[in-house]
Amino acid sequence: MRILIANDDGYLAPGLTALVRACEGLGDIDVVAPESNASGTSNALTLHRPLNVFTAGGEQRGFRVVNGTPSDCVHVALTGLLERKPDLVLSGINNGANMGDDTLYSGTVAAAMEGYLFGVPAIAFSQAEKGWAEIEAAARVARDIVDRALAAVRERPGPWLLNVNIPNRPDAAALPRVITRLGRRHASEPVIRQINPRGEAIYWIGPAGSAREAGEGTDFFAVSQGRVSITPLQVDLTDHAALPLWHQALVAS
């Protein structure tokens, strides 16, 4: 079994080390992660400069580090760095939730999605709250899900993509797990305008909006009930239901 692990918080993030340690003994593990925090970079690829790869030392010994985005890491790994295609791509464990609309902006989900786009089953893991509290408990949940997913890989080798959000609790491994759909968030908070020391206006992107569609069956609901949320994702953004409507409005004579 070959597993590729990436993240978006950067190679020094505690969530990455915890996930790698939790997967020890599963087979050959390659870690390819961004040099710095690349949260919120979505599926961006670096196209206008080359990428450097170095091998980390210390606690991150053996991790391959890329001065790029999470998608760059998985892309470079799958198309040139690794000798063989992995059986599974894992991403995380992220510092904070990736639920509802977050999944469109998330580098954590994007790293897993890059594997999925290359035909490799993939799982993105996030902790519900920022700050790394109970990260070891979250890593135990991740390991258990990986164990069960590996059995699923043997039965269903085709690519699939799972998005997992884990409450920050010491008993996370004992929490119920539910298969969920994505909820929706309200539009994010307004930008925060400040004046820099040169007297120029600068803008900070505001925090994500609160949950808007968070009813039963959603990822938001599951996590609010103290459950581990597992959402199967797909990539097709087509609004299938609207195809006839737009044909009528814009094409038909």
Nearest-approach distance from CB 8 to Mn ion, in angstroms: 4
The answer for residues whose C-beta is within 8 angstroms of residue 54's C-beta and 6 or more apart is 64, 65
102 binds Mn ion (CB under 5 A): no
Identity of the residue, 105 or 221, whose beta carbon is nearer to Mn ion in the bound complex: 105
8 binds Mn ion (CB under 5 A): yes
Report d(CA 206, CA 188) in Å as an integer: 7
Binding mask 9-28 for Mn ion (x = CB under 5 A): x-------------------
101 binds Mn ion (CB under 5 A): no
Identity of the residue, 9 or 35, whose beta carbon is nearer to Mn ion in the bound complex: 9
Identity of the residue, 91 or 218, whose beta carbon is nearer to Mn ion in the bound complex: 91
Binding mask 80-99 for Mn ion (x = CB under 5 A): --------------x-----
Nearest-approach distance from CB 94 to Mn ion, in angstroms: 5
* Planar angle of CA 146, 40, 47, nearest 5 degrees: 100
Residue nearest to Mn ion (CB): 39
Identity of the residue, 17 or 178, whose beta carbon is nearer to Mn ion in the bound complex: 17
Q: Which of 224, 205, 250, 39 is nearest to 129 (CA)?
A: 224
Burial class (CB in 10 A: 0-12, 13-18, 19+), 61: exposed
Structural contact between residues 2 and 86, judged by C-beta atoms closer than 8 angstroms: yes
Report d(CA 121, CA 190) in Å as an integer: 37
Nearest-approach distance from CB 73 to Mn ion, in angstroms: 13
Identity of the residue, 23 or 109, whose beta carbon is nearer to Mn ion in the bound complex: 109
Nearest-approach distance from CB 136 to Mn ion, in angstroms: 18
Q: Report strand pairing: 88-94 vs 2-6.
A: parallel
Nearest-approach distance from CB 90 to Mn ion, in angstroms: 14
Identity of the residue, 86 or 107, whose beta carbon is nearer to Mn ion in the bound complex: 107
Report d(CA 253, CA 251) in Å as an integer: 6
Answer for which of 17, 39, 43, 180 binds Mn ion (CB under 5 A) is 39
Instruction: Copy the structure tokens of residue 28.
Output: 């050959």
Dmax (CA) for the chain in angstroms is 67
Q: Which of residues 158-197 bind Mn ion (CB under 5 A)?
A: none
CA dihedral 71, 241, 209, 19 (to 10 degrees): -40
Nearest-approach distance from CB 12 to Mn ion, in angstroms: 12
Q: Report strand pairing: 2-6 vs 211-213.
A: unpaired
Identity of the residue, 94 or 127, whose beta carbon is nearer to Mn ion in the bound complex: 94
Applying CB under 5 A, the residues found at the interface with Mn ion are 8-9, 39, 94
